[in-house]
Amino acid sequence: MNRKVLLGLITCLILTFFSWHYYCELDEILIYENQQYSIADPLTRENEYSLILDSNLNIINEPGEKNQEKVNLHALSAALIDGDSGRVLYEKDGYSIKAMASTTKIMTCIIALENSKPDEIVTVSKYASTMPDVQLGIREGEQYYMLDMLYALMLESHNDVAVAIAEHIGGTVEGFAAIMNEKARELGCENTNFVTPNGLDAQGHHTTAVEIAKIGSYAIKNPDFITITNAANWSFKELTKNRSFMVSNKDKFLYMYDGAIGVKTGFTNKAGYCFVGAVRRNDATYVSSVLGSGWPPNKNLKWKDTSNLMDYGVKNFSKKDIFYPHTFGPIYVEDGKERVVGLDYWAEIPVLISDNDYIKICYYTPKQLEAPVDKNTIIGKAIYYVNDEIIKEVPILTTETVEKIDLDFCIDKVISLWLNEIN
């Protein structure tokens, strides 16, 4: 084959490639112009999510006038949340910063469960042995199993035990507080700050009713936490001197309310009486908190406040899956062997919902994609709201793979067109 023929063949192939590429683009524009799929303003790949296009709104329940029933409460701050989704169902001054007393120990316990083993040996420091108020009476140099310490921590709220646990895991109280605060940030609790592991009043040691409830809802997902906090009593011994101890559960709510599963009481002069409670009923989990629910001698107001919150939740809310099916139009794929790619999404979104709530869903998808595109690639999202609060973001995925146009593909297509014309 001489050079002129070879050069002509190469030129023909190049022209074939570009002419087929142009034909595909032109045909695609004509097909989708009436369906408002524009490719005149393509997204760059690095900005696919910051420049998200086409927001299609779908409201399942039209928002109406909100007539939220008022709950009779003595607490200065209170909250009731969905223990599964974290959605706030009710709050009274629930976002104000308050002292939290021994509800602090919820975080102390869950940190210990996640960062130690039950049979680890905790050695008591002199500092831990000097903690005031509620004490187990541990002594410097004594040794205890971690599991025994956790029962003493949660059933009778011993402050000396809390410090011994903190020093064992964090090295110092300050080191342990840093771990507690890191976990709080992880749970989205931006207005919570831990200084002590036991909740004794300290400058900068605070939370909000909503956030301590969210910490409680996280903790009760751990089955070991539930086992400890629901125990009626626990007996154990010190490991070197064999001293015997027995602790009993001071959480009366466990026996007062049907379905109660905890969680933790608290009191200091600054915080007043506090309690984080949890109830499981009808496949739903309700978590409440009351801060500043009276001062001595009104120590039983916290139980009444908690019962009122739970009554409100059980009466007004039920668990529903709010996922809503949606059919997406195809997305144009630039330089793709297939002209479009399909989209789909799916999720389970169980949420506690009342008759007054409304659900809003926003779908975000790009106007076009660039080949190659793999099947099950995340290219957008559906955001679910309940009363304008984001509940969940669900990824929108491609339903098939689209390969990029290459020279062999173009040659095959052009040959196919020529053959069709000849026939």
Which residues participate in catalysis according to the annotation? 102, 105, 157
Pairing state between β 378-386 and 88-92: unpaired
Structure tokens at 309: 């919150």
Name every residue whose Cβ is closer than 8 Å to that of residue 148 and which is 6 or more positions away in sequence: 234, 236, 245
Structure tokens at 217: 């809802």
Structure tokens at 24: 């595909």
For residue 327, report the phi and psi dihedrals to the nearest 5 degrees. -95, 120
Strand, coil or helix: 224: helix
Strand partners, 105: none
d(CA 76, CA 345): 43
Can you say whether residue 115 is alpha, beta or left, with left for phi > 0 and alpha for psi between -120 and 50 degrees? alpha
Strand, coil or helix: 399: coil
- The residue whose two tokens read 């139009």 is 329
Strand, coil or helix: 193: strand
State which amino acid sits at residue 308: N
Give the closest residue to 100 by CA, choosing from 286, 231, 268, 307: 268
Give the closest residue to 389 by CA, choosing from 78, 6, 15, 88: 88
Give the closest residue to 143 by CA, choosing from 160, 158, 164: 164
Question: How many other C-beta atoms lie within 10 A of the C-beta of residue 165?
Answer: 29
d(CA 11, CA 244): 94
Structure tokens at 37: 């799929």
Residue 279 class from Cβ within 10 Å (0-12 exposed, 13-18 middle, 19+ buried)? buried
d(CA 100, CA 276): 10
Distances (CA, A) of 266 to 153, 202, 277: 12, 15, 12
Strand, coil or helix: 13: helix
For residue 331, report the phi and psi dihedrals to the nearest 5 degrees. -105, 130
